[in-house]
Structure 1
Amino acid sequence: MSAFHLFKLSLLLSLLPNSIIPNSQKSTGLFPPTCSRIECPTYDLIQAGNGYEIRRYNSTVWISTSPIQDISLVDATRDSFLQLFDYIQGKNEYQEHIEMTAPVITQVSPSDGPFCESSFVVSFYVPKKNQANPPPAKGLHVQKWGPAYAAVRQFSGFVSDSEVGEEAAALEASLAGSIWSAAIEKSRPDDPTSTYTVAQYNSPFEYEERVNEIWMMFDMEDEVGAL
């Protein structure tokens, strides 16, 4: 098997349900080891709390899929990542190959019931050298984020549909009653119980120090400046 096909297989395997590949132990408070090898978004740590971190991310650029309706985050992420992987391998209007980065993120708008379809947008972090002019591609769009705050919870293992909801609920519980929780609610004017992001960093061949994250984004310039 060629190195290219082995690399592609490894990326796809990393998105398989964890019923196929066993979980590793939990981890918290780690700087993702993947980010020592490939480019990741940069941030400042504002506060480390009990079960969460508050980060201020610098401006970032993402190439993103259209919203996908599915009952499974794992399936939606896997299927969408095929499109994003083709994009970085040169299936774009510039026919430009783009370096792999981390994390791959899935923005989640949860459904109202356990058997209803949620909405997912899957995104690839664009390397800094490509951010000024990301290659366009059919079926994909560019998201440009200004500086943004995120409440973050880490968890390990291979992402599963059941665990993601539990980790998002645990992050909300850890923030309850804090200024961070209030800021998150303010940033969700249409539905204060919706939307979070799942960030995945690792290859499937890494069984130690696996790092995934739940992000809840918010805008809180005045309150943070007062801390």
Structure 2
Amino acid sequence: MLKLSFLLTLLSSASFGPWHDEAKRSGVAIYPPACTSIECPVFDVLQLGNGYEIRRYNSSVWMSTSSIQDISLVDATRTGFLRLFDYIQGKNSYEEKIEMTAPVITEVSPSDGPFCESSFTVSFYVPKENQANPPPAKGLHVQRWKPTYVAVRQFNGFVTDSNVGEEAAALQASLADTIWAAAIEKSRPDSTTVYTVAQYNSPFEFDNRVNEIWMQFYVEDELLVM
């Protein structure tokens, strides 16, 4: 297994939204506020760049829906979240209630055209106490992540079908000509543009909303040589 220490230094501050003023001054990433009250997956910040952040997530377990076909990310995420909410409320094989966590993530495999259905998979981070034996449930499946590397862009407000595409394009542009862009491209199956939308807030929270675009990739040894 690849062993990675902090061979990368924090670079220039990122421009992700109004809550990042402190980050611009200090050069330190801001942890999503929701994660101070509910459990989130643990990560290390490897690099804070201009418009992006590179993270390494520890091994983690996620409960995921089957692929949802829709033209709307918002509608697909709502559909998937309701299935996962029923799951944590006890609609599972153990009839066990599970604590809410963050973020809820939606993996997006975009369609070829604006009026074609895309594929969406919605996932819930399983709390540590349930990760060894997450309750199974019909229509859901477990994903076990090894240590995972992610390029991240944060944005505020509510997620919409229009702004996620804009934010994903902005993340991709900010990564251009970096070693991370090459790693992301190499990690994509069949050169498809796949990204993930992470949401940390409930629909009833209107202030300090934090959303993220994730692009996952593999790390090879040459990326660690500075």
Q: Scaled by the length of structure 1, what TM-score is found?
A: 0.86
8 Å Cα contact 1:64/1:143 also seen in 2: yes
Displacement of 1:50: 0.5
Cα distance in 2 for partners of 1:98, 1:112 equals 37
8 Å Cα contact 2:179/2:223 also seen in 1: no
State the partner residue of 1:137.
137
State the partner residue of 1:187.
187
State the partner residue of 1:108.
108
Cα distance in 2 for partners of 1:209, 1:221 equals 36
Cα distance in 2 for partners of 1:125, 1:139 equals 16
Cα distance in 1 for partners of 2:152, 2:85 equals 26
1:111-161: CA deviation from partner (whole Å, max 9, x where unpaired)? 111111000000000000100011000000000000010000000001000
Deviates most, 124-133 or 206-215 = 206-215
Gaps of 5+ in 1: 1-24
> Which secondary structure does the structure 2 equivalent of 1:62 belong to?
strand
Amino acid at match of 1:197: T
Describe how 1:68-83 pairs up with structure 2 within 5 A.
68-83=68-83
Q: How many residues are aligned here?
A: 202
State the partner residue of 1:89.
89
2:207 matches 1:208: yes
Describe how 1:131-170 pairs up with structure 2 within 5 A.
131-170=131-170
State the partner residue of 1:125.
125
> Which secondary structure does the structure 2 equivalent of 1:190 belong to?
helix
Cα distance in 2 for partners of 1:122, 1:205 equals 19
State the partner residue of 2:217.
218
> Which secondary structure does the structure 2 equivalent of 1:123 belong to?
strand
Cα distance in 2 for partners of 1:205, 1:95 equals 27
8 Å Cα contact 1:26/1:155 also seen in 2: no
8 Å Cα contact 2:65/2:122 also seen in 1: yes
8 Å Cα contact 1:157/1:211 also seen in 2: yes
Name the CA shift for 1:204/1:69 in 2 (closer, same or farther; >3 Å).
closer
1:169-201: CA deviation from partner (whole Å, max 9, x where unpaired)? 00000000000000000101312x411000000
> Which secondary structure does the structure 1 equivalent of 2:114 belong to?
coil
Amino acid at match of 1:125: Y
Cα distance in 2 for partners of 1:225, 1:148 equals 15
State the partner residue of 2:30.
30
Gaps of 5+ in 2: 1-16, 21-28
Cα distance in 2 for partners of 1:46, 1:63 equals 26
1:53-77: CA deviation from partner (whole Å, max 9, x where unpaired)? 0000000100000001100000000
Percent pairwise identity: 75
> Which secondary structure does the structure 2 equivalent of 1:144 belong to?
strand
Provide the alpha-carbon RMSD of the alignment: 1.3
Cα distance in 2 for partners of 1:82, 1:205 equals 15
Amino acid at match of 2:90: G
Amino acid at match of 1:218: F
8 Å Cα contact 1:93/1:135 also seen in 2: yes
8 Å Cα contact 1:27/1:154 also seen in 2: no
Q: Scaled by the length of structure 2, what TM-score is found?
A: 0.86
Displacement of 1:222: 1.1
Deviates most, 195-204 or 147-156 = 195-204
